[in-house]
Structure 1
């Protein structure tokens, strides 16, 4: 049984607990730095004479430890106080990004150094992310879930707008090293805020992990919760390929096109800021809109994920590219809010972080390979050909996932319905 969230003062946001407000504020702060860091890293490589392939290798080095460590992070987040896990992960990421900033500021870092410290940031994220999702889950009541997830994403996405625009402008004005230093400082500030979170027991004593069960047992139980829901693993399979394509576009191809055909880091920062505007603007809508078929509606948003690849492939001018990035942000929020609602209503709270870890592990499983191969793919197909391929793959996946009946039919349930009760299997004919 979940401990009741500490209530907030009466008013418009009376539903928002103290933990929710602190976690949201910390996410905004860390998001400001994180939004600019990929832009800074990409242009540190390109401005130093590196290739598109080098950008892909560094991005893959960041993603690989995330993939390898996510399930361990999820198991720890369901066993230990989640705010402690997040604080430790934020501090580790601050050290890693600080070291990367120092290398870039000191001169021209080698490729292996960039890969090493980028991997450190990826490892920190692997422990932070599952704990973060669990903390938000337990900090609000089910009847306010849609509003809470929308407000939380608006805060995070608002940071993406400011962070991307600021990161692009600072990268162009003072260099990428200072943007990476800002990212490290934001991680430190977020860790300090999360230290103030109140611990809340996610389970009743009877539901606590069995003595001597160990982490392997926790992981097996989490896998059972994940694998027993077909709608869940079908969408994760979809995202395993989709995230690889989107990651290649945003981390590798986008900066390369901006450097060659647009105004460099400043223009790519503006495009990423437009993406953030789409995220935030749609968050306002999702705070009020409560569609019944949550996964069906969420997947309509996925159809927009490939629009930026199309704009980049046809060498669209900056205003058109910004519009494409805006639409992509709309799609991400429509999917993301509905996805979190589906997880909250279908996954038992005591297993949430482990299931979230399996979700993210599967979704990111091909991302390191996708970014590592982005450069060679561009050499083979040409930059426009690689971008067209990403756009077509995104569209095909968005259609294919709708063949699964559970994805089309999973419906929002009343707030008082038990969250750990499985729905009746959706008919398959």
Structure 2
């Protein structure tokens, strides 16, 4: 029987608690970064929207390029050690960016290089994070675990965005980036203390023993491609999976342009600057906190259908920005976006962890991330020129239209509408039945 008390009882599990705290602190560091980096770059002498596009593209592109390699690594090596390495890389990247901002030595190639290191760390971290949850908790507690991880994440987003915006306003972007780097360092230390369950560790050992010995670099390359082919077969065999990933490739294109460049630009020029944009981002995070209350109880019989429907209202804040709506309405739109994205995220991760074999989960997750993020750099590259050619507000309306069209198209596929959760996942008395 599902209840909030039994859900919170998971916090007594050492491994899950360590994972929860590490992710909460890591996301707290990440939440300082968007405002600090965006307004720190825009404040540089001679900087334009195009300058910000270059830096954010430098972060996004390596994240896409290395994502598949990150999936192979996370399926081969202990996922806790992979996560620790990724957090350490992120700490180095953001401390480097902070040092440049604070010293005033900010050549664009150096900024782009540090941002690229952060992108590589994300490519390593994301597949390991998705795959580690089934290693830590039992299968019947996956949705609860994902929801609690989301709760910690969203609390951090709210706190980080508020504190990050205040830090930028009061003492500058460089110090906000220092805080980010220190948070990533602490997360790496906490992940280092994580120990997977013996069963998961034995499975990892057994997987290593059946691999052929690598006697040359060529053998190693062939082995990586063999692993990637196996992950691709798992990915492409599920219509619901590749359709929603294709949908998200367009959503992320629009969101990278809007969240990364166009939104901050409108905030800087017409809404009061960093404080206004921090309020929008904080509204999104508050909405995601509310979404956790829903996802702890929600057990839909068709989870991917519900998840995809939740993507339609995410266009709201961009639509409101595009029509010059008051700031408070944009913040409310961001709250709606946050609720919808949180419901989507928990249902999506839980379905993947339930439907994909554990030994291939990180590789499939890397294909998910690669497909979802592959057009993100294009969105960032196009955002600056679009802001110049048509203006940031019309460009934001275009982003909203793209989100709506992609989401409606995904609903046309029977695999998206028809995938059903196991009966035991939808029969809890306290659960909310949907569809």
Q: Deviations over 1:274-323 (max 9, x none)?
A: 10000011111110111111011001110022111111111222211110
**Is 1:55 aligned to residue 52 of structure 2?**
yes
Matches within 5 A, 1:12-23: 13-16=8-11, 17-23=13-19
User: Shift of the alpha carbon at 1:210?
Assistant: 3.0
Measured after TM superposition, the shift of residue 377 of structure 1 is 1.4
Describe the shift of the 1:170–1:416 C-alpha distance in structure 2 as closer, same or farther (beyond 3 A): closer
Range moving further from structure 2, 275-284 or 194-203: 194-203
Give, in angstroms, the shift of residue 389 of structure 1. 0.5
Aligned partners of 2:162 and 2:16: how far apart in 1?
A: 26
Residues 11 and 329 of structure 1: CA distance in aligned 2, closer, same or farther (over 3 Å): closer
Contact 2:33/2:164 (8 A) holds in 1: yes
TM-superposed CA distance for 1:416, in Å, is: 9.0
| Structure 2 gap segments, 5+ residues each | 214-221, 427-435
Task: Please list the CA deviations of residues 88-113 of structure 1 after superposition, one character each: whole Å capped at 9, or x if unmatched.
Answer: 11111111111110000001512222
What is residue 342 of structure 1 aligned with on the other side? 351
- 421, 425, 429: which one pairs with 1:412? 421
* Range with greater deviation from structure 2 (389-398 or 201-210): 201-210
Q: Is the 8 A contact 2:244 2:308 kept in 1?
A: no
User: Could you tell me whether the CA contact under 8 Å between 1:240 and 1:367 is conserved in 2?
Assistant: yes
Query: What is residue 27 of structure 2 aligned with on the other side?
Result: 31
1:95-138 Cα offsets, whole Å, 9 max, x none, are: 11111100000015122221111111111111111111111122
For 1:350 and 1:342, locate their aligned partners in 2 and report how far apart those are by CA, in whole Å.
16
2:247 is the alignment partner of 1:252 = no
Q: What's the CA shift for 1:259?
A: 0.7
Match of 1:368 among 377, 381, 395: 377
Change (3 A) 1:158 1:206: same
Q: Quick check: 2:7–2:144 contact (8 Å CA) kept in 1?
A: no
TM-score (norm 2): 0.90
Instruction: Give CA deviations for 1:30-57 in whole Å, capped at 9, x if unaligned.
Output: 1111112111111112112411121112
**Whole-Å separation in 1 of the counterparts to 2:6 and 2:305:** 34
Does the C-alpha gap of structure 1 residues 414 and 20 become closer, same or farther in structure 2, counting only changes over 3 Å?
A: farther
Aligned with 1:198: secondary structure? coil
| Structure 1: segments with no counterpart, 5+ residues | 1-9, 418-429
Comparing 344-353 with 12-21, which one deviates more in the overlay?
Answer: 12-21
Corresponding position of 1:427: none
1:78 alignment counterpart: 75
Q: Quote how far apart the aligned CAs of 1:414 are.
A: 3.9
Structure 1's 353 and 24: CA in aligned 2 closer, same or farther, altered over 3 A? same
Return closer, same or farther for 1:14/1:399 CA change in 2, 3 Å cut-off: same
Alpha-carbon contact 2:151-2:289 (below 8 Å) kept: yes
Question: SS in structure 2 opposite 1:291?
Answer: coil
Matched, 1:89 2:86: yes
Q: Distance in 2 between matches of 1:127 and 1:146?
A: 23
Q: Secondary structure at the match of 1:315?
A: coil
1:325/1:222 CA distance change after superposition, 3 Å:
same
1:122 to 119, 122, 139: 119
1:215 CA drift (Å): 2.0
Offset at residue 334 of structure 1 (A): 1.4
Q: Match for 1:229 among 216, 223, 238?
A: 238
Query: TM-score normalized by structure 1?
Result: 0.92
Q: Verify: 1:381 aligned to 2:390, yes or no.
A: yes
1:292 paired with 2:301, answer: yes
Q: Distance in 1 between matches of 2:205 and 2:419?
A: 31
Tell whether the 8 Å contact from 1:166 to 1:269 is kept in structure 2 after alignment. no
What is the alpha-carbon distance in structure 1 between the residues aligned to residue 89 and residue 79 of structure 2?
16
The equivalent position to 2:95 in structure 1, one of 95, 98, 105, is 98
> What is residue 157 of structure 1 aligned with on the other side?
154
Residue 239 in 1 paired to residue 248 in 2? yes
> Does the C-alpha gap of structure 1 residues 269 and 76 become closer, same or farther in structure 2, counting only changes over 3 Å?
same
